[in-house]
Amino acid sequence: MYRTNTCGELRLADAGKEVTLAGWVQRSRKMGGMTFIDLRDRYGLTQIVFNNADNAELCEQANHLGREYVVQVTGTVAERSAKNPALPTGDIEIIAGALKVLNPSEVPPFTIEDETDGGDDLRMKFRYLDLRRPCVRKNLELRHKMTMEVRRYLDSKGFLEIETPMLVGSTPEGARDFVVPSRMNPGQFYALPQSPQTLKQLLMVSGMDRYFQIVKCFRDEDLRADRQPEFTQIDCEMSYVSQEDVISLFEGMAKHLFKELRGVEITEPFIRMPWADAMRLYGSDKPDLRFGMEFVELMDIMKGHGFGVFDSAEYIGGICAKGAASYTRKQLDQLTDFVKRPQIGAKGMVYARVEDDGSVKSSVDKFYTQEVLQQMKQAFQAEPGDLILILSGDDAMKTRKQLCELRLEMGNRLGLRDKNKFACLWVVDFPMFEWSEEEQRLMAMHHPFTHPKDEDIPLLDTKPEEVRADAYDMVVNGVEVGGGSIRIHDSALQAKMFEILGFTPEKAQEQFGFLMNAFKYGAPPHGGLAYGLDRWVSLFAGLDSIRDCMAFPKNNSGRDVMLEAPSALDQKQLDELQLALDPKEK
């Protein structure tokens, strides 16, 4: 055996035992005639002691160990004189009797510690070393525990875990596909699935009733902190369910995960918020409810007083930051610069302080009487010491989104977005369609298989833009951790949906005929939901990016710098696939 115990399990009760450990050399220290080695494996760290007085040759051997050497040590467990309460093994040490180098190591390019000296790119290039760091390893351990709890919960609810294909047909409606050329079918391509959506619906037609899969999905889209080109979904579908049935079951699953993995017991039902209210009050369909600062519209109060910016605006709205009236001019200028960033796009910001005597001091005082400013203060229910921040613009939706960014920035600055606090809600009653300026047509806000609300079906022929969907998203701390909908199970309604989306009958049949044909053979009412596993894990781990809870993520350019992928194919491979490249100049 290479080891009798791990580096994280020995305790004071094991004193006197002879043990064998194996692992990596974390660090070494020489103190007089003694050498101390910290030995690390996946389970923890144990101090090894080499005493020159007992065995000079062994001590000399230990003095030549470098960082990340893989070694095997045999020795006796002893009580440690200088205990380390920060370590689970801090009460003991191993008095070494034998040492074997299993594999030497070059000096690693960065320190294998929680507080490392390696930058993001360097750590991604040597990700196999980065994964040795305890903080990164813990994220993968949490991910493992979450998948086990998910499987246990869904199994207890009668779900079957069923795999679906990774090579499917391309569905251009939605995000871009990753495509895979077929050697045996020249000129034709598979696509990697963006979601098993149609396949899980077919499983409902086939009578599987309750399906789930922890599945890899792929989208060729621009990256953000919460996006990667490949990601993992907890994908679920159920037959004979209403929206309430799906929400109830998966709210229960969320509460189960909070309790088992974070020790947080949530007894109250999650808030339900219509999409229209979320956009009106927070400018986002995934509002962070850990703090207030709801939007207040000021059109009736602030227009018509000679301030041209407001008088010509289609929307004027603001937030009230409690206790922030002490902000200096420099801090306010920083906030103005923040909202004027190109990615946010506001033209400027107006502010107003509520003074200790209740009066209001504003950056646009010359246009407004104190009486009008008091009306504004009352609209916010502001108190002395509060700071009011106002944006305006020609497009209400766009300006609300800008105000949303300002609200989140103030939440960060005021310390209101505590990662150990959780605010959960369901956003419901989404619009069925949204207008695409690029396509110049209506697009499905979720996907074309979402069922409209029964009472809105008559509007499909007259006012499709007013139709609401039987769709729902779960949001935690401003992050969409999952979403789903009740699906269309009637082929005529599905055909109608494709018609509104601009599909000819021939195009609809070509791309989705397999699904509409299946509906003709007794498709049950069904619906489902997909949770983002990566997002759940990063949320529970308190991470800022989902890539920190993936074993081998891509960088912000969608590249794997460790594997040097994507990369060019050699000509032989291209010839086998009957592909000719026409590279464009960058």
pLDDT of 439: 79
Structure tokens at 263: 């020790």
Q: In what order do the strands lie in the sheet with 471-476?
A: 160-161, 210-218, 230-239, 526-532, 479-486, 471-476, 424-428, 271-274
What's CA 210's distance to the chain center, in Å? 26
Question: Per-residue confidence at 437, pLDDT binned at 50, 70, 90?
Answer: confident
Dist. CA 179–CA 172, nearest whole Å: 11
Q: Regarding beta strands 441-444 and 424-428, do their DSSP bridges make them parallel or antiparallel, or are they unpaired?
A: unpaired
- Residue 436 β-bridge partners: 441
Structure tokens at 97: 């009797």
pLDDT digit string, tens, across residues 331-368? 999 999 999 999 999 999 999 999 999 999 999 999 99
Burial class (CB in 10 A: 0-12, 13-18, 19+), 562: middle
The CA–CA distances, whole Å, from 220 to 111, 172, 177, 181, 511 equal: 34, 11, 6, 16, 20
The yes-or-no verdict on residue 174 having pLDDT over 80 is no
Instruction: For residue 508, give the 3-state DSSP assignment.
Output: helix
pTM score: 0.91
Dist. CA 470–CA 453, nearest whole Å: 5
Domain 138-272+424-549 has CATH 3.30.930.10: yes
Q: Is the dihedral of CA 262, 152, 242, 532 positive or negative?
A: positive
Name the packing angle between helices 275-282 and 396-413 (round to 10°): 70
Give the DSSP H/E element, type plus range, for residue 484: strand 479-486
Dist. CA 331–CA 352, nearest whole Å: 13
The CA–CA distances, whole Å, from 404 to 103, 390, 503, 556 equal: 54, 11, 35, 24
Burial class (CB in 10 A: 0-12, 13-18, 19+), 400: buried
Domain 12-103 has CATH 2.40.50.140: yes
- Residue 161 β-bridge partners: 212
Question: Per-residue confidence at 319, pLDDT binned at 50, 70, 90?
Answer: very high
pLDDT of 172: 65
Structure tokens at 91: 């009460």
The yes-or-no verdict on residue 42 having pLDDT over 90 is yes
Dist. CA 318–CA 329, nearest whole Å: 19
- Residue 211 β-bridge partners: 160, 237
Report the pLDDT averaged over residues 541-554: 92
pLDDT digit string, tens, across residues 53-98? 989 999 999 999 999 999 999 999 999 999 999 999 999 999 999 9
pLDDT of 566: 93
Dist. CA 105–CA 112, nearest whole Å: 13
pLDDT of 173: 61
Do residues 545 and 225 lie in contact, with contact meaning Cβ atoms separated by under 8 Å?
yes
DSSP 27-40: EEEEETTEEEEEEE
Phi, psi dihedral angles at 342 (to 5 degrees): -55, -35
The yes-or-no verdict on residue 108 having pLDDT over 90 is yes
Report the pLDDT averaged over residues 385-392: 98
The yes-or-no verdict on residue 223 having pLDDT over 90 is no
Q: Contacts from 570-577 at CB under 8 Å and sequence distance 24+?
A: 576/183, 577/181, 577/182, 577/183, 577/186
Give me the chain's average pLDDT, please.
95
Dist. CA 131–CA 552, nearest whole Å: 9
DSSP code of 344? Answer: T
DSSP 164-224: --SSB----SSSPPPEEE-SSSTT-EEE--S--HHHHHHHHHTT--EEEEEEEEE------
Do residues 536 and 125 lie in contact, with contact meaning Cβ atoms separated by under 8 Å?
no
Structure tokens at 535: 């997002």
| Domain range list for the chain | 12-103, 138-272+424-549, 291-413
Report the pLDDT averaged over residues 567-577: 93
Do residues 175 and 222 lie in contact, with contact meaning Cβ atoms separated by under 8 Å?
no
Among 322, 324, 299, smallest CA distance to 312 is for 299
Instruction: For residue 149, give the 3-state DSSP assignment.
Output: helix
Provide the percentage of residues in the chain whose pLDDT is more than 70: 99
Q: Regarding beta strands 296-297 and 315-321, do their DSSP bridges make them parallel or antiparallel, or are they unpaired?
A: antiparallel
Q: Is the dihedral of CA 265, 270, 271, 274 positive or negative?
A: positive
Q: Regarding beta strands 179-181 and 92-103, do their DSSP bridges make them parallel or antiparallel, or are they unpaired?
A: unpaired
Q: Regarding beta strands 271-274 and 424-428, do their DSSP bridges make them parallel or antiparallel, or are they unpaired?
A: parallel
Phi, psi dihedral angles at 219 (to 5 degrees): -140, 130
Output the CA torsion 260→232→195→253 (10° steps).
0
Question: Per-residue confidence at 585, pLDDT binned at 50, 70, 90?
Answer: low
Among 563, 486, 477, smallest CA distance to 528 is for 486
Instruction: Tell me which of 582 and 167 has the higher pLDDT.
Output: 167
Report the pLDDT averaged over residues 500-525: 92
Structure tokens at 504: 């000819």
Report the pLDDT averaged over residues 171-190: 87
Strands (DSSP E) along 255-314, which ranges?
271-274, 296-297
Count of beta carbons in the 10 Å neighbourhood of residue 186: 11
The yes-or-no verdict on residue 133 having pLDDT over 80 is yes
The yes-or-no verdict on residue 586 having pLDDT over 70 is no
The yes-or-no verdict on residue 520 having pLDDT over 60 is yes
Among 413, 388, 393, smallest CA distance to 346 is for 393
Among 135, 112, 231, 93, smallest CA distance to 530 is for 231
As a CATH number, domain 291-413 is 3.30.1360.30
Dist. CA 490–CA 499, nearest whole Å: 14
